[in-house]
Structure 1
Amino acid sequence: MSHIEKKEFEIYRISPPPPKWDFQEYMRQYVQTGDDKYFYWFLHYYEPTLNEKAKSFRNKYSMEEHFADIKQSLVTGLCKALINYDISIAPFLPYAQRYMEREAHNYIRTMRTGYSVQSEFEYARLRKVMDIFNHSGGEFTEETISQVATQIGESDEKTKSIIEGGILTENYTDVQSNDEDDTGTTDFLLPDSSLNPENIYFKQKLYDKLYEAYDGLEYTEKMMLAQHLGFCPECFSTRYADKTDLDENGKPKEKPIKPLPYTDIATDHGFSDANTAKRVCERAMSIIKAVIK
């Protein structure tokens, strides 16, 4: 790793280190005092997680030179989340996840090599057009273009241009090194199904609804449901880094978060029996299902 790359991983490092608290405590102090230092203290300790998130986006979308900018977009999401954050309703990090993802995708949408879309409206339209196009057979013919144009209310020429951009987005991605210690890169093109606008559209719609539903739960419901289903209530990951079990490179192995039985969940939250924990989780699931229908 070069000196410049190392600096990108330590943008928010403070020396000497600030007091180490629970992440939520930094947010509580910030909300109560309005002092920016608490947010900077939070970033100091949250930066390793930011780095992992930024690397994940960088690797998935083959944007090797964009790590620092993607990381900054995630921090922008955190700042926007703080604007309307009500500390009495929910912990900050689960609340902020949608904001972070939205900002990262906005950056990728405009800066990714191959095809850039200039506004969120155009990006939404692109996803809609490609959804119709693919359901119409996915053949780039005058007949299909005319069918799509009729459904979106655009001219055939304009619709053709949109579809061409969508096809480019689906199939044009420069494959590059994903790891800091790799020196070689490849210079050929491969199809990237993860960038299919239709898939992105429906996945993002589902994720937004799920986050909205989860945010609407009470704090205890969120924690118990996360334990029952086996995911992190802060980052929604289903895996964790086991620092007691290292791989051959000395890095913690990633392991799945195991769902807890109702008896253990009840004990963690001070309930007398497993049936109470079960009822809470079932109620939370019914609320979420009602929102995403």
Structure 2
Amino acid sequence: MSEERFWTTDEYASTAKFAVQDGAMTMRQAGRIFRLDPAPPKAEDINDYIVSAVRENDLTYFTYFLHHYEPRLNKRVYRFLLTEGIDRYEPLRFLDYKLSVVLVMLECLQNYAPNKGADFLTYAHYFIGNALLDCRRQEEAGSFKSLDEYKAARGIAWLYNNSGKSEKEVIAQYADEQSCTEETAAEYLTLARQNRSRVPFYCTMQDDDGEETGEDVTRDDSWNYADILWNGIRADAVRAAFDKLDYMEQDFIEMRNAICMTCGRVGSWDERASFEKIATDYEYTTTGGAEKAYKKIVDKLTAHLVDAGVLGVVELKQIERNKKIAAAAYQYKAAHRFANDDDEWGEIRFDFSNGTAETVKLADGDFCKSKVFAEVAIRRILQIPFKELPKKLTIPCKLEMERMRYGV
């Protein structure tokens, strides 16, 4: 990177050869504003464009990067607007958010060091999120002194919405978690009430005399994303595991599961992206390729949760199958933070004609008295029709729940 000079945002903006008249832009135009014709030279990875831009101090490579990144950028802005309840079909607003993200990426480019190991989008992910939030901050009904103040107000609002605790308890918890005074926490909660442009998350019920009772009547339980997506696994562990994924992996998880891990909003299951759409957006040659990539990402996320000690995994491999008598045998392995790659596999034999199973050998790491992981494997396999038995299967289970259930 040249120490003398780098591109300024004004210089970059001057290279954008388009003119927009009020009301004249369409969503198609807003969504293709960075597309180049003819298309730029292909690279094996779009991060290669960024590396070239940094090493050669040439903005042309950044325009190549934007050409390929724009569909994903559109998706991220679209999902953010959807989460915030904003009209996502307003072209000029959509473009404003996109340009804010591009400008912050240019700022990140000045400090990006390719030799540190992280790709550019992983490095810029946090700053991109801040850029979107800052755009939202400027549209709020009230005003905030800074982005940090705005994020603090959103944070305590989210905590209040999802904790089920009283206002006083939420203020005390937030103050303790953020190492601030309760007076400061109370100010943030007040700001959140006054300045949210969406439907207020808190209001009070009035009694017959018109006096406020202080009773909360508008808690939004639908935002409890830990319970909805992860079936009760601790949200902090999921957040930490998610943060260990790179940008593309995080995007896959959010798209496929209709969830925003930034704010915790869970969308309708109908809103989740199909593998066909993911394949198109990420330029996979087949839908199967996108599905295979997604499954690898899920396995990686699962491994992080196993390492955190809140999730167990049972791995199964079919070693025998007899169609005549509807029987099968599987090797199984208990994967959790007390297990390792050298542990021996156990064996379970299934009789589908009678709906029974026998644990022939316990896997290392299984609990010898209760056979926790063997029981998990048996329950799952017996639910599958014999004709559909998989050759390999990975079954996640809530490790702490299984321990309590079996008293180990």
- TM-score, normalising length: structure 1: 0.55
What residue number does 1:152 align with?
A: 182
Cα pair distance change 1:47/1:163, threshold 3 Å = closer
Cα displacement (A) at 1:99: 2.0
What residue number does 2:191 align with?
A: 162
Q: Which one of 67, 74, 77 corresponds to residue 94 of structure 2?
A: 67
Aligned residues of 2:50 and 2:120 also touching (Cα < 8 A): yes
Q: How does 1:36-185 map to 2 (within 5 A)?
A: 36-64=59-87, 65=90, 66-88=93-115, 89-112=117-140, 114-127=141-154, 129-130=156-157, 137-138=165-166, 151-153=181-183, 161-162=190-191, 164-165=193-194, 168=196, 171-172=199-200
* Distance in 2 (alpha carbons) for counterparts of 1:244 and 1:103: 24
Gaps of 5+ in 2: 1-23, 202-217, 225-234, 257-273, 281-285, 311-408
* Distance in 2 (alpha carbons) for counterparts of 1:46 and 1:12: 9
Report the AA paired with residue 62 of structure 2.
F
Cα pair distance change 1:161/1:96, threshold 3 Å = closer
Q: Which one of 223, 243, 249 corresponds to residue 233 of structure 1?
A: 249
Q: What root-mean-square deviation, in Å, do the aligned CA atoms of Structure 1 and Structure 2 show?
A: 5.1
Cα displacement (A) at 1:152: 2.1
Aligned residues of 2:157 and 2:189 also touching (Cα < 8 A): no
Cα displacement (A) at 1:209: 5.4
What residue number does 2:52 align with?
A: 29
What residue number does 1:16 align with?
A: 38
Q: How does 1:188-227 map to 2 (within 5 A)?
A: 213-214=244-245
3-state SS, counterpart of residue 63 of structure 1: coil
Gaps of 5+ in 1: 174-189, 197-203, 216-230, 247-251, 266-277
Aligned residues of 1:76 and 1:100 also touching (Cα < 8 A): no
3-state SS, counterpart of residue 32 of structure 1: helix
* Distance in 1 (alpha carbons) for counterparts of 2:124 and 2:185: 40
Higher RCO (Cα < 8 Å, 6 or more apart): 1
* Distance in 1 (alpha carbons) for counterparts of 2:103 and 2:239: 18
Aligned residues of 1:171 and 1:192 also touching (Cα < 8 A): no
Cα pair distance change 1:165/1:37, threshold 3 Å = same
* Distance in 2 (alpha carbons) for counterparts of 1:244 and 1:159: 38
* Distance in 2 (alpha carbons) for counterparts of 1:132 and 1:41: 41
3-state SS, counterpart of residue 32 of structure 2: coil
* Distance in 1 (alpha carbons) for counterparts of 2:47 and 2:29: 26
Cα pair distance change 1:138/1:50, threshold 3 Å = same
* Distance in 1 (alpha carbons) for counterparts of 2:253 and 2:70: 17
3-state SS, counterpart of residue 37 of structure 2: coil
* Distance in 2 (alpha carbons) for counterparts of 1:243 and 1:55: 15
3-state SS, counterpart of residue 171 of structure 1: coil
Cα displacement (A) at 1:194: 7.8
Report the AA paired with residue 32 of structure 1.
R
Cα displacement (A) at 1:233: 3.4
> Does residue 1:4 correspond to 2:26, yes or no?
yes
- The structure richer in strand per residue is 2
Cα displacement (A) at 1:138: 4.0
Cα pair distance change 1:122/1:286, threshold 3 Å = same
What residue number does 2:295 align with?
A: 259
3-state SS, counterpart of residue 34 of structure 2: coil
3-state SS, counterpart of residue 114 of structure 2: coil
3-state SS, counterpart of residue 14 of structure 1: coil
Cα pair distance change 1:155/1:33, threshold 3 Å = closer
Cα pair distance change 1:138/1:171, threshold 3 Å = farther
* Distance in 2 (alpha carbons) for counterparts of 1:288 and 1:77: 37
* Distance in 2 (alpha carbons) for counterparts of 1:159 and 1:96: 27
Aligned residues of 2:153 and 2:189 also touching (Cα < 8 A): no
Aligned residues of 1:27 and 1:38 also touching (Cα < 8 A): yes
Identity of aligned residues (%): 23
What residue number does 1:176 align with?
A: none
Report the AA paired with residue 8 of structure 1.
A
Cα displacement (A) at 1:36: 0.4
Q: Which one of 258, 266, 276 corresponds to residue 242 of structure 1?
A: 276
3-state SS, counterpart of residue 129 of structure 2: helix
Cα pair distance change 1:162/1:60, threshold 3 Å = closer
Report the AA paired with residue 253 of structure 2.
S
Report the AA paired with residue 139 of structure 2.
M
- The structure richer in helix per residue is 1
3-state SS, counterpart of residue 249 of structure 2: coil
Cα pair distance change 1:39/1:62, threshold 3 Å = same
